[in-house]
């Protein structure tokens, strides 16, 4: 059942424009801790729910932003389909809008595509109070400068996502996860070597001691791949990938210590940092917990060709994302001015000046 609150939300935004009142776009609240500290009057979008269009044979679904991931994924599962990028929930109230606004992807991201890659179109309420539609519901309509994908990862600073169209995929017939004891440097080497082969790998992770490799497809293909890769089969593989990695239930993520997300070239050497690391995405996403301060963490990551985000904990009023070079910040500032000229939508959530 659809509950379309477009007109009510548009009225609220227009009133905020008239009064100059900043708004905090708020869905299920499961990811409110992401980014910088939220400010502004709450603009509740959790009631804007429903699957607008679902065409299983076309592998596309369109849903309103307040629709929970649980509802959406259950509907897809009934047709033997799934969201390829395996978005994290981090709570039962996680919504589609918050997931796309945060640009969040799970273990399959390097192999099935990121959230941004699977967005086909979106309907957006801008800081002008206008409802605009970008993209479409089939891949051939997504061409040129695709503004729907621009909204992915913008943390709501460019507009409120009213509904989103996504590409979906069939659930694989079989999964198998192999486990090997490996040091970090060898784990990174192996993940990158396998990436250049036709092996049916759909996720990789090194958790500080062991390297985990998930395979998906027909049983015969998995058996051949397992002979090539080697290692022991993991019995509780669903719990490992869903609960411990995607939902960050692994012991590595426990506690209140500051958590850093390091984005690096996948083949970058293992960073010799004091503390603990967990490696995902074939080496491209590395999580770090240790005693280094912000300057030291970012210096080490920049030297390796990447960037660092203070993902959880620490000072949420400071800059949690990697500072942008002036030309790139100017581009971001111009985009903010174009979509939200009064700076009323999620002000400062991404960067202090946006």
146-164 per-position pLDDT tens digit: 788 899 999 999 999 999 9
Q: Residue 146 has what pLDDT?
A: 74
pLDDT tens digits along 293-307: 999 999 999 999 999
The number of beta carbons lying within 10 Å of the beta carbon of residue 149 is: 23
Is the domain of 48 the same as that of 166? yes
pLDDT above 70 covers a percentage of the chain that reads 97
Same-domain check for residues 141 and 218: no
- Residue-wise pLDDT tens digits, 75-85: 999 999 999 99
149 shares its domain with 45: yes
Task: Tell whether the torsion through CA atoms of 263, 293, 248 and 32 is positive or negative.
Answer: negative
- What pLDDT sits at residue 135? 83
Residue 2: the pLDDT is: 87
Residues 245 and 266 in one domain: yes
1 in any annotated domain: no
* Pair 169, 60: CB distance under 8 Å: no
- Tens digits of per-residue pLDDT, 99-130? 999 999 999 999 999 999 999 999 999 999 99
pTM of the model: 0.95
**328 in a domain, yes or no?**
no
Distance CA 238, CA 223 (A): 18
Residues 215, 71 share a domain: no
Residue 325 lies in a domain: no
The CATH number of the domain where 160 resides is what? 3.30.465.10
Position 260 pLDDT exceeds 50: yes
- Predicted local distance difference test score (pLDDT) of residue 144: 47
Task: Quickly count: other Cβ atoms within 10 Å of residue 215's Cβ.
Answer: 23
Residue 317, in any domain of the structure: no
Tell me: do 124 and 156 sit in the same domain: yes
Q: How many CA atoms lie within 13 A of 91 on its CB side?
A: 13
Reported confidence tier of residue 138, pLDDT bands at 50, 70, 90:
low
For residue 278, CA distances in Å to 166, 245, 255, 293 come to 29, 10, 15, 18
Identify whether residues 58 and 130 lie together within a single domain. Answer: yes
Are residue 189 and residue 122 in the same domain, yes or no? no
In a domain, 303, yes or no: yes
Same domain, 164 and 46: yes
User: What H or E segment, with its residue span, contains residue 261?
Assistant: strand 259-263
Same domain, 157 and 187: no
How many domains is the chain partitioned into structurally? 2
Gap between the Cα atoms of 28 and 76, Å rounded: 20
- Kindly report the average pLDDT of the chain as a whole number: 95
Same domain, 93 and 76: yes
Residue 272 structural domain? 173-312
Whether residues 63 and 150 share a domain: the answer is yes
50 lies in some domain: yes
Residue 141 pLDDT > 80: no
In a domain, 155, yes or no: yes
Report the alpha-carbon distance of residue 318 to residue 348 in Å, rounded: 10
Specify whether the CB–CB gap between 108 and 124 falls below 8 A: no
- Per-residue confidence (pLDDT) for residue 136, from 0 to 100: 72
- 326: in domain: no
What pLDDT, on a 0 to 100 scale, did the predictor assign at position 54?
A: 97
Q: pLDDT at residue 66 above 80? A: yes
């Amino acid at each position: 059942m659809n509950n379309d609150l477009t007109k009510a939300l548009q009225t609220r935004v227009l009133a905020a424009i008239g009064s100059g009142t900043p708004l905090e776009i708020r869905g299920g609240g499961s990811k409110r801790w992401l980014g910088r500290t939220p400010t502004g009057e709450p603009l509740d979008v959790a009631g804007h729910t429903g699957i607008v269009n679902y065409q299983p044979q076309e592998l596309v679904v369109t849903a309103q932003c307040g629709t929970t991931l649980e509802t959406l994924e259950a509907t897809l599962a009934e047709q033997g389909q799934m969201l390829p990028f395996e978005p994290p929930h981090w709570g039962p109230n996680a919504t589609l809008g918050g997931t796309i606004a945060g640009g969040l992807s799970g273990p399959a991201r390097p192999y099935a595509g990121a959230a941004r890659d699977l967005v086909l179109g979106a309907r957006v309420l801008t800081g002008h109070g206008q409802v605009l539609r970008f993209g479409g519901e089939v891949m051939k309509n997504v061409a040129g400068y695709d503004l729907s994908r621009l909204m992915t990862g913008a943390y709501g600073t460019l507009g409120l996502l009213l509904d989103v169209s996504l590409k979906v995929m069939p659930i694989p017939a079989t999964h198998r996860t192999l486990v090997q004891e490996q040091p970090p440097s060898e784990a990174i080497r192996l993940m990158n070597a396998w990436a250049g082969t036709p092996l049916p790998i759909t996720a990789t992770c090194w958790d500080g001691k062991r390297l985990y490799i998930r395979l998906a497809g027909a049983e015969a293909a998995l058996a051949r791949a397992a002979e090539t890769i080697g290692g022991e089969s993991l019995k509780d593989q669903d719990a490992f990938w869903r609960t411990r990695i995607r939902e960050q239930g692994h012991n590595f993520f426990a506690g209140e210590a500051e958590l850093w997300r390091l984005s690096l070239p996948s083949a970058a050497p293992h960073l010799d940092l004091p503390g603990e690391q967990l490696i995902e995405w074939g080496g491209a996403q590395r999580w770090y917990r240790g005693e280094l301060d912000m300057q030291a963490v970012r210096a080490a990551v920049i030297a390796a060709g990447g960037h660092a985000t203070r993902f959880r904990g620490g000072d949420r009023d400071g800059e949690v994302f990697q500072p942008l070079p002036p030309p790139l910040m100017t581009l971001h500032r111009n985009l903010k001015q174009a979509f939200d000229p009064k700076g009323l939508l999620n002000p400062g959530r991404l960067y202090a000046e946006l």
